[in-house]
């Protein structure tokens, strides 16, 4: 049943040296910071052959990394003001393009294994843009195994070498988050599963298959089986792009004094721009959902970093199932290692800086680690007394609520007002916290929906332009009649263009459907906003009547918060859109200069021609 007893350690065993000595005590281990490492992948052979890519990432030593300015040439203003895009960062560990997966594992995730065997939780995840090497870091290859197989082999090596007095039970599960739905990767044609909150274990997935394993080979078989079912598709930015986030969980239970440790190994999908991936249809929808969940993760990292600096901020863990699954790893009972993967190419500068910015913020995050000791359950008599007490309390609340709805007098006339809340609790911390959370979540949802609509509109504009070009070329071929000649090059081109036209039309229809759904969600969001505003107004009125007409200042501020918060976030969003447009324009201008140079037109000749044309 998955139980096995470890053997006695040999004198020369590398695990017998004390690296995995038992942790003393049943209580908390204490506060600890995330281990944040950065890994830069090398240029791929195809990228080197293109000739327009250059390496702009420099790893100075094992902690410091520099991102060079990606621009080959500066405009006049930048030259005069000596502006540069060069950035420098310091992390716990930094790895260059020559580092192997084992090098990364030894200095990041390996330190977590001892805690897992002694009843503590550990989390390892890779973060970065699509094509930056996250899956390679986490899973690897046969010749260069990644952190998942390396950690599994070390867990079982340690189990075999620990004292024979312990008996272990090891189970594992493997799931993916695809389009904000959870699927079991160990079950064929898995239905979507629910995500629920357990007061003891945190986020749990009922119905998720857990397999008992007795050695590393068993777990590697499970890993291969799950990866075969995982959603992957080629895009313009990555030939083997993961379309889902994958989470493998290894649970280790050690008997005698019962300790339970958990190791979560997370392979995230990469953020992507539709303009780079050239996605359409279902791929476009997948990319939007990936970006939405990664944005929620980035917001959580950003908020946690500010929180550690003393700012009172709300952390939006509930904005995505991914962040709910990673909550323990980011702020709960877990020692966590984060590997930020970046691409070294100059064309990936914006993605690289975004990744490093959030990794730098993650250094501020702290978790509270404690040993998970299974205690004896509460005595049945005590449990029954608590149940009866709670049942009496629920019955009393039901009577008060029924009386309030019927208009009948109740024992405490001020207990419930017409807003459906207890008026004496309007200033209660729990009521205020829930109201604040609802306001923030409503605002965040609105911004995310606006972002999704903008991406859909941007892709639709590009698709319509391409469709118009395809239509013009088809008309040109049909007018010449060459497209009707069997076996001719023009006929093959016409068939290819018709297929492209059909796929573009399908993509536009799917994009319109997705935009319709997002607009409906925007309407629902607006309805929720009005409902929240109504709650604030009714609570304020109830408080006014009891305070002689004096409106509490904090409710007025809370009432204005959402409007101004939305305006501020929309302004930030518009600035981000503007920066994206400027970056695209710079790319187009750079491509134009390279095309002119390839055609033998010097920059001086091009400038003279532009002056003659008045450009």
Binding site listing for ATP:
128-135
| CB neighbours of residue 416 within 10 Å | 21
Rounded alpha-carbon distances, angstroms, from residue 414 to 10, 115, 260 = 73, 52, 48
Q: Which residues pair with 182 in a beta bridge?
A: 177, 193
Beta-strand relationship, 93-95 and 35-41: parallel
Contacts of 547-554 with CB under 8 Å at 24 or more apart are 552/426, 552/427
Across 371-526, where does the E strand assignment appear?
none
> Alpha-carbon distance 274 to 283, whole Å?
9
CA-to-CA distance for 92 and 94, rounded, in angstroms? 7
Q: Classify strands 35-41 and 335-343 as parallel, antiparallel or unpaired.
A: parallel
Ramachandran area for residue 263 (φ above 0: left; ψ -120 to 50: alpha; else beta):
beta
| Binding-site residue positions | 128-135
Q: Given the structure tokens 């780079």, which residue do they identify?
A: 276
CA dihedral of 96, 99, 104, 106, whole degrees rounded to 10:
-130
- CA dihedral sign, ordered 328, 329, 331, 334: positive
- Residue 439 has φ and ψ, to the nearest 5°, of -60, -45
**Longest CA–CA separation in the chain, Å:** 96
Residue 208: other Cβ atoms inside 10 A: 20
Closest by alpha carbon to 333, among 433, 407, 264? Answer: 264
């Amino acid at each position: 049943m998955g139980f096995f007893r470890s053997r006695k350690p040999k004198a020369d065993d590398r695990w017998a040296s004390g690296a995995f000595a038992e942790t003393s005590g049943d209580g908390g281990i204490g506060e600890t910071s995330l281990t944040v490492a950065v890994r830069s992948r090398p240029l791929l052979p195809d990228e080197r052959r293109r000739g327009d890519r250059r390496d702009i990432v420099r790893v100075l030593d094992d902690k410091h990394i520099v991102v060079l300015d990606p621009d080959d040439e500066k405009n006049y203003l930048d030259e005069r003001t000596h502006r540069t895009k060069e950035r420098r960062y310091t992390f716990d560990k930094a790895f260059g393009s020559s580092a192997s997966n084992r090098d990364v594992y030894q200095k990041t995730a390996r330190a977590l294994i001892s805690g897992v065997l002694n009843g503590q939780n550990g989390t390892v995840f890779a973060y970065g843009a699509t094509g930056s090497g996250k899956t390679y870091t986490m899973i690897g290859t046969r010749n260069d195994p990644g952190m998942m197989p390396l950690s599994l082999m070390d867990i079982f090596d340690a189990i075999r070498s620990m004292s024979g007095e312990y008996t272990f039970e090891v189970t594992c599960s493997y799931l993916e988050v695809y389009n904000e739905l959870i699927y079991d990767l160990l079950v064929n044609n898995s239905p979507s599963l629910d995500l629920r909150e357990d007061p003891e274990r945190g986020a749990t997935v009922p119905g998720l298959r857990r397999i008992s394993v007795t050695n590393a080979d068993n777990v590697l078989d499970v890993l291969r089986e799950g990866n075969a079912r995982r959603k992957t598709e080629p895009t313009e930015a990555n030939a083997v792009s993961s379309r889902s986030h994958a989470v493998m969980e290894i649970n280790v239970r050690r008997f005698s004094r019962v300790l339970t440790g958990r190791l979560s190994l997370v392979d995230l999908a990469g953020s992507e721009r539709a303009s780079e991936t050239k996605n359409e249809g279902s791929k476009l929808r997948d990319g939007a959902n990936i970006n939405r969940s990664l944005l929620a993760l980035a917001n959580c990292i950003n908020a946690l970093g500010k929180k550690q600096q003393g700012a009172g901020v709300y952390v939006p863990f509930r904005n995505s199932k991914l962040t709910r699954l990673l909550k323990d790893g980011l702020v709960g009972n877990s020692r966590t290692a984060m590997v930020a993967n970046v691409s070294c190419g100059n064309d990936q500068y914006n993605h690289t800086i975004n990744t490093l910015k959030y990794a730098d913020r993650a250094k501020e995050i702290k978790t509270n680690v404690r040993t998970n000791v299974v205690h004896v359950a509460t005595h049945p008599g005590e449990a029954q007394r608590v149940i009866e007490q709670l049942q009496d309390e629920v019955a009393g609340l039901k009577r008060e609520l029924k009386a309030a709805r019927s208009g009948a007098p109740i024992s405490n006339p001020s207990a419930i007002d017409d807003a459906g809340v207890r008026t004496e609790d309007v200033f209660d911390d729990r009521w205020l916290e829930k109201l604040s959370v609802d306001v923030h979540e409503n605002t965040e949802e609105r911004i995310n929906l606006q972002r999704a609509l903008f991406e859909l509109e941007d892709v639709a504009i590009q698709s319509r332009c391409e469709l118009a070009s395809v239509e013009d070329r088809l008309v040109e071929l049909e007018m010449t009649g060459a497209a009707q000649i069997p076996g001719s090059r023009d006929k093959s081109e016409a068939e290819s263009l018709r297929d492209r036209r059909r796929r573009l039309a399908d993509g536009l229809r799917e994009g319109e459907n997705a935009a319709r759904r997002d607009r409906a969600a925007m309407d629902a969001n607006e309805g929720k906003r009005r409902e929240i505003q109504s709650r604030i107004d009714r609570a304020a009125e109830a408080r006014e009547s009891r305070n002689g007409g004096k409106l509490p200042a904090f409710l007025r501020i809370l009432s204005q918060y959402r409007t101004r918060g939305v305006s501020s976030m929309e302004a930030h969003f518009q600035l981000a859109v503007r920066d994206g447009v400027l970056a695209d324009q710079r790319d187009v201008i750079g491509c134009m200069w390279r095309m002119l140079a390839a055609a033998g037109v010097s920059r001086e000749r091009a400038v003279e021609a532009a002056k003659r044309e008045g450009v």
